[in-house]
């Protein structure tokens, strides 16, 4: 484990694990920590030494005196570059790979924009950032959506009511309902969701540029989806996939809750 001190941002905590020789910078999904990927030790991680970063409002990463107004305005995209620059200061400038699951894929893709000439491999799992998820767009970028998100966050009864309504009209399925309910059943959890989804609101990769860079530098790119994932399914990522020359695309018989020992076993059987 270790820490990066990033000016204008705060303290970013990272976990180190796996015995491979190649460095991998990894970004986890909501509600997890940078250690999330350790379950993939037989497949993806066998060649890598992972530096898994905690998102803010997760693990031990801490913002430096940010106000709520700053959080709601969002973290500037340019600061993602500082993760790598500060990592270089500790470990030396070198080639590396990137991995991201769900919302963590946004940061991984932004690093491809910035460091394509230094990246060896890209692993994206149920990735956010390749298409616009309507629900996130509404609650972060429309007036009524932001108002509702704020009210739901600060109410003890609105969150379960809204989730049941969204499930009833099939805006979310049962698996997403269970995930959302488990992450909003206390006031602190609701606040963490609210702040997390707002602080990353500006971290939107330029997917056309990313695809061009992957092709230009011939970076191997593996995309893994859950066949039953209704949040970030393969079909939503197809416009990006179709821009790539030779991607590896995998659909595992899982839902959005993808980074599990079951995925590790599935990938081992595919000889990934």
Distance CA 237, CA 225 (A): 10
- Say whether 64 sits in a helix, a strand or coil: coil
Measured in whole angstroms, the distance separating CA 237 from the mean position of its chain's CA atoms is: 15
Low-confidence winner among 40-49, 161-170, 196-205, 238-247 (lowest mean pLDDT): 161-170
Distance (Å, whole) CA 63 – CA 67: 9
pLDDT in tens, 193-248: 888 889 999 999 999 999 999 999 999 999 999 999 988 999 999 999 999 999 99
Phi, psi values for residue 184, rounded to 5° = -135, 20
Measured N-to-C along each axis, helices 104-115 and 80-91 cross at an angle, to the nearest 10 degrees, of 70
Both tokens assigned to 265 = 């076993």
Scan for tokens 């959506």, then name that residue. 145
Average confidence (pLDDT) over 149-155:
63
* Spatial contact of 26 and 100, defined as CB atoms under 8 Å apart: yes
Structure tokens at 189: 């959890």
Burial class (CB in 10 A: 0-12, 13-18, 19+), 156: exposed
Residue 25 in tokens: 């910078």
Q: What token pair was written down for 243?
A: 């821009």
Q: Which pLDDT belongs to residue 174?
A: 61
Q: Of 76, 63, 139, 74, which Cα lies nearest the Cα of 110?
A: 76
The total number of residues shown for the chain amounts to: 272
The H or E element that residue 252 is part of is strand 248-252
Beta bridge pairs of residue 250: 224
pLDDT at 231: 85
pLDDT at position 94 is: 98
pTM for the full model?
A: 0.87
User: Sorting pLDDT into bands at 50, 70 and 90, what band is 192?
Assistant: confident
The residue among 101 and 193 whose pLDDT is bigger is 101
Architecture of the domain spanning 2-132+204-269 = 3-Layer(aba) Sandwich (3.40)
Residue owning tokens 């340019």: 78
pLDDT at residue number 184 = 57
Dihedral sign, Cα of residue 63, residue 93, residue 213, residue 38: negative
* Domain map (residue ranges) of the chain: 2-132+204-269, 134-197
């Amino acid at each position: 484990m270790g820490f990066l001190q990033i000016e204008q941002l705060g303290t970013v905590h990272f976990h180190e694990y796996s015995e491979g020789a190649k460095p991998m910078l990894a970004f986890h999904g909501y509600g997890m920590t940078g250690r999330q990927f350790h379950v993939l030790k037989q497949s993806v991680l066998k060649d890598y030494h992972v530096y898994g970063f905690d998102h803010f409002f997760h693990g031990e990463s801490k913002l430096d005196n940010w106000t709520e107004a700053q959080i709601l305005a969002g973290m500037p995209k340019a600061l993602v570059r500082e993760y790598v620059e500060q990592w270089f200061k500790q470990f030396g400038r070198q080639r590396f790979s990137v991995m991201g699951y769900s919302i963590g894929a946004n940061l991984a893709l932004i690093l491809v924009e910035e460091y394509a000439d230094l990246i060896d491999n890209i692993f994206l799992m149920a990735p956010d950032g390749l298409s616009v998820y309507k629900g996130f767009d509404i609650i972060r970028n429309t007036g009524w959506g932001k108002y509702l998100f704020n009210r739901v966050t600060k109410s003890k009864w609105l969150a379960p009511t809204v989730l049941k309504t969204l499930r009833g009209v099939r805006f979310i399925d049962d698996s997403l309902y269970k995930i959302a309910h488990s992450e909003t059943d206390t006031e602190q959890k609701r606040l963490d969701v609210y702040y997390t989804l707002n602080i990353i609101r500006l971290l939107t990769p330029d997917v056309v540029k990313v695809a061009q860079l992957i092709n230009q530098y011939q970076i191997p790119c593996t995309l893994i989806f859950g066949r039953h994932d209704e949040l970030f399914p393969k079909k939503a990522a197809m416009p990006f996939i179709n821009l790539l020359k030779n991607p590896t695309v995998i659909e595992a018989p899982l839902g959005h809750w993808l980074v599990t020992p079951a995925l590790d076993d599935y990938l081992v059987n595919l000889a990934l």
